[in-house]
Amino acid sequence: MNDSRLFALTPGEPAGIGPDLCLLLAREAQPHPLVAIASQALLAERAALLGLPIRLLAVGPGNWPQQPAPAGSLYVWDTPLAAPVECGKLNPTNAGYVLETLTRAGQGCLNGDFAGMITAPVHKGVINEGGITFSGHTEFLAELTSTPQVVMMLATRGLRVALVTTHLPLRQVADAITVERLQRVTRILHADLRDKFGIADPRILVCGLNPHAGEGGHLGHEEIDVIEPTLEGLRAEGMSLIGPLPADTLFTPKHLDHCDAVLAMYHDQGLPVLKFKGFGAAVNVTLGLPIVRTSVDHGTALDLAGTGRIDSGSLLVALETAYQMTGKR
């Protein structure tokens, strides 16, 4: 059944495939009203290039839709570009436009206009070249919502993987896994699995840092000194935490069939498995925010913009996940 929960969709880098994804999505009706926060002129140009007869329906504050757009239509909150866009050609002049779409979506979630936001990929480099310090969606939205700590989680059908550390050189990972960080990340993961995913008693599998989870201290002491005592303390708070387990055996059906999420110590410990299982059909979820935000799991694909040779599977999963999360809250 349709309902009137309203969602924001940001197309990200205008020269990439984000605008194309929005238009491809509009070919079919969505179960909820969905507003693209983007340049209406850009979407019209890209629709013409792709040969997609999509009707662009202007909306905005004071004129929000109450029903999903019909198939072949897309609600648009017009956000002007600073410069014309050519497919595949980055232009730092439009950096401010990209951040304005994110600001409108984030503020709309905070003030209750939107139930959640779904983001297409941005290009961090060109935003920084435009003179704006920007390290990513996650950090931008954390600052916008005054959130001191957020957690990156990727999910696909049948597997969720959250990260204790994210984009760090491997040489720095062990020092970054402190009692305080592990406590914060685990508490956020547990709380959002419960409050945003509706899992009453989440079961979380926790990876060790070292091969064989340290093998009793013979292959490293991080498990003994930091991870094991921290998990024991969190269990005393009522959390169901299994581990630390060796990552090479944790990612097997024996364990995964009986858990709600995996907590990996670093980026390339957990995400290769998830992307092997669900590449093109995975979603990036920012946990810890006071709003719901999901994103595609891929980049801007500049070389494919305007070609029509793209797969919208990840965007569909990001939408489904946002709908599910707001329905459970």
Binding residues for a divalent metal cation: 167, 212, 267
> How is residue 60 written in tokens?
């905005």
Do 87 and 59 form a contact (C-beta atoms < 8 A)? no
Buried b (16+ CB within 10 A) or exposed e, 84-102: ebebbebbbebbebbbbbb
Reduced DSSP (H G I as helix, E B as strand, rest coil) percent helix, strand, coil of the chain, to 5? 40, 20, 40
Detail the residues annotated as belonging to a binding site: 137-138, 167, 212, 267, 275, 284, 293
3-state secondary structure of 169: coil
Within 10 angstroms of residue 297's Cβ, the number of other Cβ atoms is 23
- Euclidean distance between CA atoms 44 and 154, whole angstroms: 32
From residue 108, alpha-carbon distances to 60, 122, 324 in Å are 11, 19, 19
- Euclidean distance between CA atoms 143 and 73, whole angstroms: 33
From residue 116, alpha-carbon distances to 32, 119, 323 in Å are 11, 10, 8
First-residue to last-residue Cα distance in the chain: 18
Detail the residues annotated as belonging to a binding site for substrate: 137-138, 275, 284, 293
